Amino acid sequence: MSVLKNRLRRFAPAMEPEGNGANGHARESGEGRASETGRVVPFETSKESVTLSHERGPSGSEETRYALTGTRRPAPARLEEYQALKTKIHRDLINRLDLTRLEKIEPSVLQAQIAQIVERMLEAEATPLSMAERERLIAEIRDELFGLGPLEPLLNDPTISDILVNTYRQVYVERFGKLYLTGVQFKDNDHLMQIIDRIVSRVGRRIDEASPMVDARLPDGSRVNAIIPPLAIDGPILSIRRFGTIRPTIEELIRRGTLTPEIAYMLEGCVKCRLNIIISGGTGAGKTTLLNVLSSFIPNDERIITIEDSAELQLQQEHVVRLETRPPNIEGKGEVTQRDLVRNSLRMRPDRIVVGEVRGPEAIDMLQAMNTGHDGGLTTIHANSPRDALSRLETMVSMAGLNLSDRAIRQQIASAINLIIQAARLSDGSRKIVSICEITGMEGDVIAMQEIFFFERLGVAEDGRVIGRFRATGIRPKFADKLERSGFRLPSTLFDDTVELGASGSVWFEHYGLR
Ligand SMILES: Nc1ncnc2c1ncn2[C@@H]1O[C@H](COP(=O)(O)OP(=O)(O)O)[C@@H](O)[C@H]1O
Ligand SMILES: [Mg+2]
């Protein structure tokens, strides 16, 4: 029972104490063992997969429930025998099949036929297999023949957001912002190269010594980058950024301590009342996640247009139009930039424009849109502080080559942007909103800004966990009146710096159905 509990804990980050594994690395499964075919069977792969479902808990809150399903993996003693058998059957199968003719057969028919052939081959073998083992062996051989081999089970696990293959020996996955070393391995670097070839050739690309770096897409939308020797010194490297992984909800972020329910409530009001909001932070600070959560507050009757370099947002509203940029082709033609898309979106009668991340000259078009009635804009920016976000915006606007004076640029920014939310990944791997600032206008040549909430770091616990608390600065933001006028009530205690935020037992949790 305790083993099962431990396993469940690994899959249920919500139950995991934060700061577990100070550097964010933890070994996922020591049980996996390299085998002859290269396929290791960590318990979560294949038959023993993790299923995940959203269910409404008794309190009405959305709870992510995790459960282990499937049959048991073979006992370690049998593992070797099993792997040897798989290798043998796989090899025999390849020898017997005419791979060039396989292409012409309908995939479902082919898979059924292969399953039959494997069944027959198994009958001739001395090693007895249970039904479950037999099924798994067929699935694994199928993955080798038609899928992405050892990567398939990882790709089928919706809790995994990144898969990082560092040569054939090492595969890391990221779940909810933490990296885990899996027991998954390829047979050797040639085997890994085969899988990489399969990925890139599907999209009509090539990877070889002449072009040793390739970007590609999996059919499900996941982004893939492969880089091989001689550029990658130790062997092929494959990085997959998953698409369609489960994004946390606001309740989940509150539960994880990324923000408090009071702060969430204020942000909800800001989105509903159409403030223009920028989320700022470094790589992996949780900007996109936060953007996704904030976008969920956009009323369902609005027409939302999202613009991204690579589609990551998952909006639940009914009326969403998703646009994605296109890189230039090999001749350097056909590029469609974010700037093109922002301009085009204005002719699409948007109620809201959500830009995944501003990086360049599209900043000016976005600001102008915000200043000319397209308010309620949401975006993210790569910056280390709210002040830094402003100066980066300035730089981006000047990239557009409009010859605006510095002051004119700042004025555009100051009148467009209402709120900057600073997100950060702390030393213990947790993500927090560390500052929320309101832009109040210009003071001389400088954009005026006031902080409303911040996260105060108090120290680091023995286990590496960051200790701290969220605090109000005591300043009631100017936009509070706008919110109140729109009917969004902001109790005065919300901004009172003597009131503890996120206090356990606080009625604020109930607003989000927590506790
Ligand atoms: N509040 C959070 N708590 C825990 N993990 C988070 C949180 N926000 C994001 N993550 C994880 O951090 C990783 C990076 O998040 P993402 O939103 O893509 O960051 P960014 O857009 O800033 O690069 C993802 O794996 C995500 O699951
Ligand atoms: Mg991002």
Are residue 137 and residue 214 in the same domain, yes or no? yes
Q: For residue 355, what are its two tokens? A: 């830009």
Q: What's the CATH number where 333 sits?
A: 3.40.50.300
pLDDT tens digits for range 50-77: 333 332 333 333 222 222 222 334 455 5
Residue 8 lies in a domain: no
Residue 405 near residue 413 (C-beta atoms within 8 A): no
Q: For 78-87, 272-281, 361-370, 405-414, which range has the lowest pLDDT when averaged over its residues?
A: 78-87
Q: Which residues pair with 179 in a beta bridge?
A: 25, 174
Please tell me the distance between residue 2's alpha carbon and the centre of ligand 2 in angstroms. 37
Of residues 259 and 94, the one with the higher pLDDT is 259
Point out the ligand 1 atom lying closest to the alpha carbon of residue 245.
27
What mean pLDDT comes out for the span 415-430? 95
Domain boundary among 241, 261, 277: 241
Of residues 10 and 514, the one with the higher pLDDT is 514
Ligand 1 surroundings by CB, under 6 angstroms: 161, 174, 176-177, 253, 256, 258, 281, 283-289, 431
Of residues 330 and 493, the one with the higher pLDDT is 493
Split at pLDDT 50, 70, 90, the class of 230 is very high
Please tell me the distance between residue 512's alpha carbon and the centre of ligand 1 in angstroms. 21
Q: What's the CATH number where 157 sits?
A: 3.30.450.380
What mean pLDDT comes out for the span 352-376? 95
Kindly report the protein residue whose alpha carbon is nearest to atom 9 of ligand 1: 286
pLDDT tens digits for range 211-227: 899 888 888 778 899 99
Are residue 228 and residue 305 in the same domain, yes or no? no
- Within 8 A by CB and 6+ apart from 135, the residues are 47
Are residue 257 and residue 214 in the same domain, yes or no? no
This prediction's pTM: 0.71
Vertex 85 angle, CA 79 and 86, to 5° = 90
Q: Which of 271, 273, 262 has the alpha carbon at shortest distance from 481?
A: 273
Please tell me the distance between residue 290's alpha carbon and the centre of ligand 2 in angstroms. 9
Average pLDDT, the chain: 82
Kindly report the protein residue whose alpha carbon is nearest to atom 14 of ligand 1: 284
Are residue 210 and residue 287 in the same domain, yes or no? no
> Please, what's the b/e burial string for 341-353 (b: 16 or more CB within 10 A of its CB; e: otherwise)?
bbeebbeeebbbb
Are residue 231 and residue 268 in the same domain, yes or no? no
Residue 5 lies in a domain: no
Domain boundary among 211, 241, 271: 241
Kindly report the protein residue whose alpha carbon is nearest to atom 2 of ligand 1: 431
Domain enclosing residue 185, as ranges: 25-49+67-241
pLDDT in the model for residue 12 = 32
Please tell me the distance between residue 289's alpha carbon and the centre of ligand 2 in angstroms. 7
Please tell me the distance between residue 391's alpha carbon and the centre of ligand 1 in angstroms. 24
Kindly report the protein residue whose alpha carbon is nearest to atom 3 of ligand 1: 431
Question: In a mutational test of the pocket of ligand 1, which residue from 176, 243, 313 has the highest number of ligand atoms less than 8 Å from its CB?
Answer: 176
Question: In a mutational test of the pocket of ligand 1, which residue from 431, 455, 466 has the highest number of ligand atoms less than 8 Å from its CB?
Answer: 431
Kindly report the protein residue whose alpha carbon is nearest to atom 12 of ligand 1: 177
Kindly report the protein residue whose alpha carbon is nearest to atom 24 of ligand 1: 177
pLDDT in the model for residue 1 = 39
What mean pLDDT comes out for the span 140-148? 82
Q: Which residues pair with 110 in a beta bridge?
A: none
What mean pLDDT comes out for the span 182-191? 88
Q: What CA dihedral angle connects 478, 480, 485 and 491, to 10 degrees? A: -150
d(C-alpha 356, C-alpha 66), whole Å: 29
Are residue 216 and residue 267 in the same domain, yes or no? no
Residue 92 lies in a domain: yes
Residue 214 lies in a domain: yes
pLDDT in the model for residue 83 = 74
Question: In a mutational test of the pocket of ligand 1, which residue from 164, 243, 251, 289 has the highest number of ligand atoms less than 8 Å from its CB?
Answer: 289
Q: What percent of the chain has pLDDT over 70?
A: 83
Residue 296 has pLDDT above 80, yes or no: yes
Please tell me the distance between residue 245's alpha carbon and the centre of ligand 2 in angstroms. 14
Are residue 71 and residue 218 in the same domain, yes or no? yes
| Number of domains comprising the chain | 2
